[in-house]
Structure 1
Amino acid sequence: MQASNVLNLGIKELRSLARDPMLLALIVYSFTLAIYTAATAIPETLNKAAIAIVDEDRSPLSARIVGAFYPPFFLPPVLITPAEMDARMDAGLDTFALDIPPNFQRDVLAGRQPAIQLNVDATRMTQAFSGSGYIQQIVSGEVGAFVQRYRGEQALPVDLALRVRFNPEMNKGWFGSVIEVINQVTMLSIILTGAALIREREHGTIEHLLVMPVTPVEIMVGKIWSMALVVLVACAVSLVFVVQGLLAVPIGGSVALFLAGAALHLFATTSMGIFLGTVARSMPQFGMLLILVMVPLQMLSGGMTPRESMPTLVQDVMLAAPTTHFVTLAQAILYRGAGLDVVWPQFLALLGIGAALFSLSLARFRKAINQMS
C-alpha cells in the first residue's frame, strides 16, 4: 500500500463529495438543524397536559383544586359537564378528566373520605404515567391544606441533601444535543462511505480504478480516511458552534480526547459502510439496509436507554457494536469530564472492533471487485 495512492484516492473522494449537493446538504443539516431541534424539541415528561374537570360540588375546596392546575405541567383546566367527559376523552381532547362529586367538601370535613374519579387517556403513555401521580399529589396537597387550615410540609426525620451533578439544571437539552451529535457521527459515516462506493459502481468509475495500479486496500482506505475526515471536522465544528455556542451546553471534558475517540469510532463505522455498500446493489437497497442497521445501533447502544435496564442478552450482544463503546466514552468525556485513564477500555474496544470490521469489509470488497473484473 502506497501512501501517495491512498492520499490521491481520498482527495478524489472529497472532490466527488463536493460535487454532490444532496450529500453536502445532508451533512450541514445533520450537524446544525438536526442537533438544534433534538436539543430544543425534547419536552418535559409532563408538559402542557390537557385536563378537564367536572366540578359537581361547586365549593371552596373544589375551587382550590381547580386552581391548582396551571402551566407548564398542565394547560388551564376546562370546566365541563358530566355528559361531556366521555365524549371529550373519546375525541382525544383531554389527557385527564377529573370528576369532583357533589358534597365533596362536606364529606371531607365530616371525615367520610370521599372518592374523586380520575379518567386517564393511557394512549399518551409518558404523560399518563407521570401525570396521574402529579394529580394525586396536587389533590392530596390541596385537601390536606384545606383541612389543616394552613399549608405546610411535615418535617422528615432525615434531611435528604440533593446534589445534582453534571447537569445541575436538569436540562434535557444538554442531553439531547450531545446524543444527537453521537448519532449523526454514526449515521453519516456509514452513509458517506457506502454512498461513495455505490456511486462509483453506478457511474462506472470503479472499472476505471481496476485498471489503474492501485490495490483494493488502497481504494478502501482512501474512501475511509476521506469520509471520516469530513464527519470528524463537521462534528468538531458542531460541538464548538452549535452545542457550546448556540445552545450554551457546557462540555465537561476535553473535546480533543472526544475527537480522538470519534476517530476510532469512525474507523469502525466507515468500514461498516463499505461492507453495506458491497452488499447493496443500488442506493434504495442501501437505504433499506441502513435502516435495519441504524435503528438497533441507536436504540440499544445506551444513548437513549441505559444499558443496565436492558436484558442481559442484549447487553452482551451489543458489546460487539462500536456505538456501545462510543456512547460510553462520549458521555464520560463530554458529560463527566473523564480522562484517558477512565475511557481507555472503550478506546481499545473500538480499535479491536474497527480492525475486525475493516478486515471483514476488505475481504468482501475484494470479492466484489473480483466479480467485476
Structure 2
Amino acid sequence: MNKTAHVFWLVLKELTSLRHDRVLLLFLVYAFSVAIYMPAAGSVIGVHHASVAIVDEDRSYLSRQVSAALLPPEFQHPVLLPYDQLDAAMDTGRYTFIIDVPPHFQTDLNAGRGPTLQINVDATAMSQAFMGAGYIARIFEKELENYRSRGHDTLTPPIKLVTHSLFNPNLNGGWFLAVIQIVNNITIMAIVLTGTALLREREHGTLDHLLVMPLTPFEIMLSKIGSNALVVVGCTGLSLEGVVRYALGVPLTGSMTLFLCATATYLFAANSLGIFLATLARSTPQFGLLAIPVIIPMLLLSGGSTPLESMPVWLQWAMQLSPSTHFVSLSSAILFRDAGLDLVWPDLLALAAIGSIFFGFTLLRFRSSLAS
C-alpha cells in the first residue's frame, strides 16, 4: 500500500512540475495540434491541381475530348495556348504540362497513320511532373480507346477491371499521414519528456531530495513513466478527436479505447528508453545528442514512412525489436481497418514483452546511476 501511495504522490509531483514548465507545455500543444494538422492538410503525395495548357492545332472533336478529359482535382482546367507561345510558357514555368495536339490528328488516327501527340513537362516541378505525365498518358489512352469503340474499332477487351476503394476513396494521402504524425510525435514526446524530466531533477538537485526519502528507484522510475503516459495518452485522444477526426475529416472507424490502451503499452517501452538515455547523459544538450540517433531510426524504419517489405530482410528482423514497429502496425490496423483485440494481440504482446525488457534493463541502469 505504501508503494502505491508513493507512486501516486510522485506522479502528482511530476504533473505539477510539467504544469510549471511553459516551454514543454507549448511544445506538447504544438506537437499534437499544429504539427499534426499542417503536414496532413498540406501533403501532396500524388498529382493535385497541376497546371495544364493545350496547343490545339487540330481543333477536332477528338482534340476537344482529350482536353476535356483532364479534370480536377488532379489537374486544373486546361488553358488554350497559341502555338507561338509554347516555348515562352515553358521557359517561364507558367504551366507544368503543355500538350501539343498536331494538325490532322483525328484524320491521321482514323487513317491508321499513327499520329504523335507531344506532352511538354516542366521537370523542375519534380513532385508532380513525372507522376503527372503517367496520369496524362493513361487518361489519353482511355479516351482514345473510347473514341475507337464508338464506331472506329469494334474490338473490346475481353476483361474489364473495375477497382473500388472501400476506405479513402479519393486516395487522400493526408489521412494516413495524420495518424503517422501522431505515432511519430508520441515517440518523440515519450523519450523527450521522461528524459528531460529526470535531467531537470538532477540539475536542480530534486533527485538528491528524493534519495533521502523512503523511496525506491522502482517507484521513482514508475512515477515518471506513469505521469508521462497520462499526459501523452490524454493529448493523443484529444488530437485524434479534435484534429484528425474533426479538423481533417478522417473517418476513424476503429476502437478509440483499444488504441489508447495500445498507446499506453507503447509508452511503457518508449518511456523506459527515454529514462535509459537520461542515465547515460550528464546534461540536457548531451541527452538531445543521444536521443537523435535513437529517435530517427525508430521513426523512419518502423513501417510508417517506408513499408517494411521494401527493406532488407535482416533489417526487417532487426526492427522487430523496436516497439515503434509494432505500434505503427497496431495503429493502422485499429484506426483504419477496425481491427479488434483478436487480431492485434500479437503486436500488443510484443509491445508488452519489449517494454518489460526495456524497463528491467533501464531499472538496473537507473539504480547504478543513483548509487554513483
TM-score normalized with structure 1 length: 0.85
Q: Which blocks of at least 5 consecutive residues in structure 2 are unaligned?
A: none
1:169 shift after superposition: 5.7
Partner Cα separation in structure 2 for residue 279 and residue 87 of structure 1: 61
TM-superposed CA distance for 1:323, in Å, is 0.9
Code of the aligned partner of 2:337? R
Q: Deviations over 1:135-162 (max 9, x none)?
A: 1133334455566667999754345464
How far apart are residue 268 of structure 1 and its match? 0.3
* Alignment match, 2:263: 262
C-alpha distance in structure 1 between counterparts of 2:211 and 2:82, whole Å: 78
CA deviations over 1:240-281 (Å, ceiling 9, x no partner): 343344444333332222222111100000011112222334
1:185 maps to 186
The reply on whether 1:202 has 2:203 as its aligned counterpart is yes
Query: How many correspondences in the alignment?
Result: 371
Q: Percent identity?
A: 50
> How many angstroms apart in 1 are the aligned matches of 2:137 and 2:161?
23
> In structure 2, what is the equivalent of residue 324 of structure 1?
325
The answer to whether the 8 A contact 2:53-2:97 is kept is: yes
Q: State whether residues 253 and 336 of structure 1, in contact with CA within 8 Å, keep that contact through their aligned partners in structure 2.
A: yes
Cα distance, 1:247–1:312 mapped onto 2, change above 3 Å: same
> Deviations along 1:293-349, whole A, 9 cap, x unmatched?
232212221223332232222211110110111111222222222222211111111
Identify which range, 70-79 or 87-96, moves more after superposition.
87-96
> Pairwise mapping of residues 269-348 of structure 1 onto structure 2 (< 5 A)?
269-348=270-349
In structure 1, runs of 5+ residues without a counterpart are none
Q: Which residue of 2 aligns with 1:217?
A: 218
- Say if 2:122 and 2:129, in contact at 8 Å, map to a contact too: yes
Q: For 1:324, give the aligned amino acid.
A: T
- For the pair 1:230 / 2:231, whether they are aligned, the reply is yes
Please give the alpha-carbon distance, in whole angstroms, between the structure 2 residues aligned to 1:33 and 1:353: 31
1:71 corresponding residue in structure 2: 72
Task: Assess, with a 3 A threshold, how the Cα gap between structure 1 residues 251 and 138 changes in structure 2: closer, same or farther.
Answer: closer
Rounded to whole Å, the distance in 1 between the matches of 2:229 and 2:107 is 72
| Greater mean alpha carbon deviation, residues 230-239 or residues 37-46 | 37-46
Q: Contact 1:9 / 1:222 at 8 angstroms: preserved in 2? A: yes
Name the CA distance, whole Å, in 2 between partners of 1:151 and 1:42: 42
Q: Map of 1:1-373 to 2, 5 A cutoff?
A: 2-43=3-44, 45-57=46-58, 61-78=62-79, 89=90, 92-122=93-123, 124-143=125-144, 156-158=157-159, 160=161, 162-168=163-169, 170-371=171-372
Q: Give the secondary structure class of the aligned counterpart of 2:99.
A: strand
Say what the alpha-carbon RMSD is for the aligned residues. Answer: 3.2
Query: Which secondary structure state, in structure 1, belongs to the residue aligned with residue 337 of structure 2?
Result: coil
Tell me by how many angstroms 1:46 deviates.
Answer: 1.0
What is the deviation of 1:193?
A: 0.5
**Between 129-138 and 15-24, the greater mean CA deviation after superposition:** 129-138
The 10-residue stretch of structure 1 (38-47 or 242-251) with the greater mean CA deviation from structure 2: 242-251
Find the residue that maps to 1:97 and give its secondary structure: strand
Does 151-160 or 296-305 show the bigger shift? Answer: 151-160
